C-alpha cells in the first residue's frame, strides 16, 4: 500500500500580479501551517489528502468602509494538487472573519472583483489574474519553528472617483458578481450573497453617470443567480493514488488550461477563463412621424344683406337735409327701431330730421368647417441598448 512520505514545512513565496496605479493597496496574505493529511483507504485505492493552508486576506483600500460592498477574490487552481479549486470569496470591510479561507496548497490564479463604495466610486482591478504558487521550504520539517509558511499577493489598484465611473464599469462589476455568486463560498451564497449584490447595486446607483434602471436590472439578474448552497474548495489532492492491482493514476494540467487523466485514480479540471461579454443588440419597433396630424379649414363665399338706417333727405335744390346720422344692421326691424329712437331723441330740435333705411347685399368669404388629416408616419427598428447573452449585463 502506498504510504505518503513525511513532508517538510512550506516557506518559499512566489507571487505575481498585474500592474496598476498605487492609490488603493489590496494585500492578500495566505498564511498558516501546512500538513500532510493521513491516507484514506478505499476498496480500490489509497487517496492521499492534499496539504491545506489557512489564507488570511488583508485589504488596504482608502475609502473602503462598512458601507461599501465587499471585494471578491477568485481562486482558480493551476496544478495537480489544486485542480478542483474554482470558487469566489467575499471580504467585507467590517467583518474580520470574512478574511479567512482554507485552501489546498499549490498553484493558483487569483483575480479580483472591485468593491463599490457608497458614493459610487470603484477600484480599477487588473484585467489578468495573478499567478501564485505555494512551494516547499527545503530542509525544514513540519515541526520546524520560526517563520510561518505564507503567500503574499500584493496589488496596487487605481481608485476611480464616482464622477468618472461609466455604465460599462458598473455592468462589468455586476456581471462578474453574477458569476461569483454562482460559484461563491458561504460569503456569497444564500442571504449573504443577496446582501452582497444588494449593497453593490445600491451603491452603484449613486454614481452620477449611470442608468439607474439598467443598474437595477443587472442587480436583479445577479441576485437571481445566488445559490442556496456554498461552493467549497476541494481539500482532496491528486498527489498520488494506488490500487490493489498495482495500477496507479496520475493527472496533469497544462498551462493552456486543458487536462487529462490516465486512469480513474486521478482527476483534474480545467480552470474557468475570465468572463467575456457577448453583447447582443436589444431592439424595438418605434413609430416615426413624417407629418403631424392637422385640421384644414373649409371656406365658402356667402351673400350677406345689410340694412342701413340714416337721418337724411335731399331738398329741391339738391342739398342734403337732416343730421346725417346713420347705422348698419343685419335686419330691417333693428333698422326701423333705430329710426324711431332717433326721431324721438331729436323731436325738439330746430333742425328737420327725416329718417329712412335701405338694404344692400355684400359677399363674404367665411369658414364653414374643417377637414381633419391624420398623422402620417412609419415604423422603424431601433437599437435601445446591448445585453450580454451570458451574464445578462446591459449597456
The pLDDT of residue 106 is: 84
- What is the rounded CA–CA span in Å between residue 255 and residue 258? 8
**Mean pLDDT score of the chain, rounded to an integer?**
74
Query: Is the pLDDT higher at 364 or at 27?
Result: 364
Residue 258 — pLDDT band, cuts 50, 70, 90? very low
Q: What is the pLDDT of residues 19-41, one digit of tens each?
A: 333 333 444 444 444 444 444 44
User: Which pLDDT does position 221 carry in this prediction?
Assistant: 93
User: Would the pLDDT of 302 be above 70?
Assistant: yes
Per-residue confidence band for 113, with pLDDT thresholds at 50, 70 and 90: very high
The answer to whether 142 touches 8, Cβ cutoff 8 Å, is yes
140-152 confidence digits (pLDDT tens)? 434 433 344 444 4
Sorted by where each begins, the domain ranges of the chain are: 13-275, 295-372
List, for residues 231-245, the tens digit of each pLDDT value: 876 554 444 333 333
More confident residue, 260 or 177: 177
pLDDT at 82 over 70: yes
Q: Could you give the CA distance from residue 277 to residue 281 in angstroms, rounded to a whole number? A: 12
Cell 445600491 belongs to which residue? 202
Residue corresponding to grid cell 340714416: 310
Whether residue 328 contacts residue 307, with contact meaning beta carbons closer than 8 Å, is answered with: yes
Signed CA dihedral, 306, 307, 309, 314: sign only: positive
pLDDT for 23: 35
pLDDT band at 50 (very low <50, low <70, confident <90, very high): low
Q: Which of 6-15, 98-107, 209-218 has the lowest mean pLDDT?
A: 6-15
DSSP 72-113: EEEEEE-SGGGTT-EEEEEE-TT-GGGGEEEEESSEEEEEEE
> Contact 69/94 with Cβ under 8 angstroms?
no
Among 30, 19, 268, CA closest to 135: 30
Q: Which residues pair with 55 in a beta bridge?
A: 30, 101
Cell for 309?
Answer: 338706417
Report pLDDT for 194. Answer: 93
pLDDT at position 284, please?
A: 92
Spatial separation of the C-alpha atoms in residues 164 and 162, rounded to whole Å: 5
Higher pLDDT, 143 or 226: 226
Among 96-105, 124-133, 194-203, the range of highest mean pLDDT: 194-203
Amino acid at each position: 500500500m502506498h504510504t505518503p512520505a513525511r513532508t517538510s514545512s512550506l516557506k518559499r513565496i512566489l507571487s505575481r500580479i498585474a500592474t496598476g496605479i498605487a492609490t488603493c493597496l489590496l494585500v492578500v496574505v495566505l498564511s498558516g501551517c501546512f500538513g500532510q493529511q493521513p491516507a484514506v483507504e478505499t476498496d480500490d485505492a489509497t487517496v492521499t489528502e492534499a496539504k491545506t493552508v489557512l489564507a488570511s486576506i488583508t485589504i488596504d483600500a482608502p475609502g473602503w468602509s462598512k458601507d461599501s460592498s465587499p471585494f471578491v477574490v477568485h481562486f482558480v487552481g493551476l496544478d495537480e494538487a489544486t485542480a478542483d479549486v474554482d470558487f469566489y470569496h467575499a471580504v467585507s470591510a467590517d467583518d474580520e472573519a470574512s478574511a479567512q479561507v482554507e485552501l489546498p496548497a499549490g498553484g493558483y490564479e487569483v483575480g479580483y472583483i472591485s468593491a463599490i463604495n457608497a458614493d459610487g466610486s470603484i477600484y480599477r482591478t487588473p484585467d489578468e489574474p495573478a499567478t501564485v504558487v505555494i512551494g516547499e521550504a527545503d530542509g525544514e520539517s513540519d515541526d520546524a519553528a520560526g517563520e510561518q509558511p505564507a503567500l503574499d499577493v500584493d496589488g496596487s489598484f487605481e481608485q476611480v472617483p464616482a464622477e468618472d465611473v461609466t455604465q460599462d464599469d458598473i455592468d462589468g462589476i455586476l456581471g462578474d458578481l453574477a458569476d461569483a455568486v454562482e460559484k461563491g463560498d458561504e460569503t456569497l451564497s444564500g442571504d449573504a450573497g443577496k446582501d452582497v449584490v444588494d449593497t453593490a447595486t445600491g451603491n452603484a446607483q449613486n454614481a452620477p453617470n449611470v442608468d439607474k434602471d439598467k443598474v437595477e436590472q443587472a442587480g436583479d439578474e445577479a441576485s437571481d443567480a445566488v445559490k442556496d448552497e456554498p461552493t467549497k474548495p476541494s481539500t482532496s489532492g491528486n498527489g498520488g493514488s494506488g490500487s490493489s492491482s498495482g495500477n496507479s493514476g496520475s493527472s496533469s494540467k497544462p498551462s493552456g488550461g486543458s487536462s487529462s487523466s490516465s486512469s480513474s485514480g486521478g482527476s483534474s479540471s480545467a480552470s474557468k477563463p475570465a468572463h467575456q461579454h457577448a453583447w447582443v443588440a436589444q431592439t424595438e419597433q418605434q413609430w416615426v412621424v413624417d407629418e403631424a396630424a392637422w385640421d384644414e379649414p373649409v371656406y365658402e363665399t356667402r351673400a350677406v344683406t345689410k340694412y342701413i338706417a340714416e337721418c337724411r333727405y335731399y331738398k329741391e335744390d339738391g342739398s342734403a337735409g337732416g343730421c346725417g346720422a346713420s347705422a348698419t344692421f343685419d335686419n330691417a326691424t333693428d333698422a326701423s327701431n333705430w329710426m324711431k329712437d332717433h326721431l324721438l331723441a331729436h323731436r325738439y330740435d330746430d333742425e328737420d330730421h327725416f329718417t329712412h333705411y335701405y338694404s344692400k347685399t355684400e359677399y363674404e368669404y367665411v369658414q364653414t368647417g374643417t377637414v381633419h388629416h391624420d398623422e402620417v408616419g412609419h415604423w422603424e427598428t431601433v437599437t435601445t441598448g446591448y445585453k450580454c447573452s451570458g451574464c445578462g449585463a446591459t449597456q
